[in-house]
Amino acid sequence: MNERIRAPQVRVISPDGEQIGVMPAEKALEEAKQRGLDLIEVAPNADPPVCRIMDHGKFRYEQKKKAKESKKKSRQMQVKTIRVRPNTDDHDVQFKMRNACRFLGAGDMVKFNVIFRGPELRHKEIGREQLQKFIDGCAEFSEVEQAPRMEGRRMTMVLRPKSTD
């Protein structure tokens, strides 16, 4: 009654990508040991399961290297904030607009805050004009993400960089 259970069949792929064929798992493991490499299951849900003969340490090293390289190339978008008052002078607005265009050109979003104090709250149209100057001045680099709106004593607006599609 001591029957030997038949080993499951696996499809084996060589290190250079060629198919060796379908064989018992034990034989595939022996083949990998002869070559001094590891037998790694690549597609366990296939019928029969697919295994590849490769150096597992080198494979993991290359995966980590690729992940690190792709992480290095990606960049998180930041939100830069620019604050002005309704009575900010034109020269100062131009200076802040140049900075905003620089931020937008670098791929960051820019949030504008017009801060009102005391009686300035009665003249919200002045703050809206300030923000319109920023929209017009940065038009070639940006599009409006959030239109100007009042939030308490602040009027805020968000510009995002133009999509390059």
Helix (H/G/I), strand (E/B), else coil: 127 = helix
Q: Quick check: 30 pLDDT over 80?
A: yes
Packing angle of the helix pair 90-105, 124-137 (nearest 10 deg):
50
The answer to whether residues 122 and 151 belong to one domain is: yes
Is 9:22 a contact under the CB 8 Å cutoff?
A: yes
The answer to whether residues 86 and 156 belong to one domain is: yes
Quote the tokens at residue 21. Answer: 């064929």
**126-137 pLDDT, tens digit each:** 999 999 999 999
The answer to whether residues 134 and 100 belong to one domain is: yes
**2-24 pLDDT, tens digit each:** 344 345 889 999 988 899 999 99
Evaluate whether residue 48 is within a structural domain. yes
The domain that holds 129 is classified in CATH as 3.30.110.10
Instruction: Give the total number of structural domains in the chain.
Output: 2
Domain housing 98: 79-161
The answer to whether residues 85 and 153 belong to one domain is: yes
The answer to whether residues 142 and 96 belong to one domain is: yes
**87-99 pLDDT, tens digit each:** 989 899 999 999 9
